[in-house]
Amino acid sequence: MMTARTQAAPGREKVEPKSRATEMDLRVRRALWLVVSMLSLSLLLVLLGVYITTRSESLNLSGYISGVILTLGSFLGLLGLCLEENRRQLLTAAIVFLSLGVMGSFLCVVIDGACVVFNMDMRPLKADRCQYYSGGSSYVYENFYTSVTCWSPMESCNMTVRSGTCYCCDLYDCANGGYLNNYYEYVGVKSCEEVFTLYVLIWILASLNLVAFFAGILTTAVLGSVKHLESSMFFPPSSPPHPESPHPSSPPLPYRVNGLSA
């Protein structure tokens, strides 16, 4: 019985590294799918944010900034999961960038969702009370700017409009020259209907940033667990040394007492 128990201990020591390696492979595969999904979401944020920003000069969005940071963090995480060399350093860098991207996503939700969308009044657009100035087909300087008259129940005033602009006189403050509301005109659009499309896309961008906020937290936690498991595989916890006992089947060693061997 003592011999069987003694021989079973090395067997358990061999099974334990295999189980830890299997657990490591399983976690890496799950983390790989999560990082690839996070990378796709980040690229979508970048493309959508850049598209909205370039469609109109009047809209300044920050939604794509978080996408850039999350893309870099997801790419580093993908490299760390696929490469065994420097895996720990790559995962550490990925966690740092993903954490910054999570904070950026929250700020983008606040800036784009609260500051931009809530300042865009779509009621005149839905009521067809906004006009579009194309500027004509000539390239003369005077054709790029024109002066239009805006009427209100209390007063009327003139407003200078650039070509390719959708403007709403109902949102223009004649007394202050429109300085209280920056979204009475949208420069660079092709029609007033495109403004409403941009409004919907901004809401989608803010929603995607909210999804990226929670997905980034989940991805950071999963990469952290993979990093911890990786370090514990290479640096296992030290166990107290066991005193070596002589094999029960081996004969006892001779000893000497006062020069006489027993």
| 108 residue type, one letter | C
In this model, does residue 101 exceed pLDDT 90? yes
Q: What is the pLDDT of residue 182?
A: 61
Both tokens of residue 205? 């961008």
* Chain segment 141-191, per-residue pLDDT in tens: 445 788 888 876 677 888 888 888 999 888 887 777 665 566 888 888 889
Report whether 135 contacts 160 (CB < 8 A). Answer: no
- Residue that wins the pLDDT comparison between 138 and 162: 162
Confidence of residue 44 (pLDDT cuts 50, 70, 90): very high
Confidence of residue 249 (pLDDT cuts 50, 70, 90): low
Confidence of residue 74 (pLDDT cuts 50, 70, 90): very high
Phi, psi of 149 (to 5 degrees): -100, 125
Confidence of residue 4 (pLDDT cuts 50, 70, 90): very low
CA terminus-to-terminus distance, the chain: 29
Q: What is the pLDDT of residue 60?
A: 79
Q: What is the pLDDT of residue 238?
A: 47
Helices (H), 129-256: 192-234
Q: What is the pLDDT of residue 144?
A: 78
Q: Which position has the token pair 């990226």?
A: 212
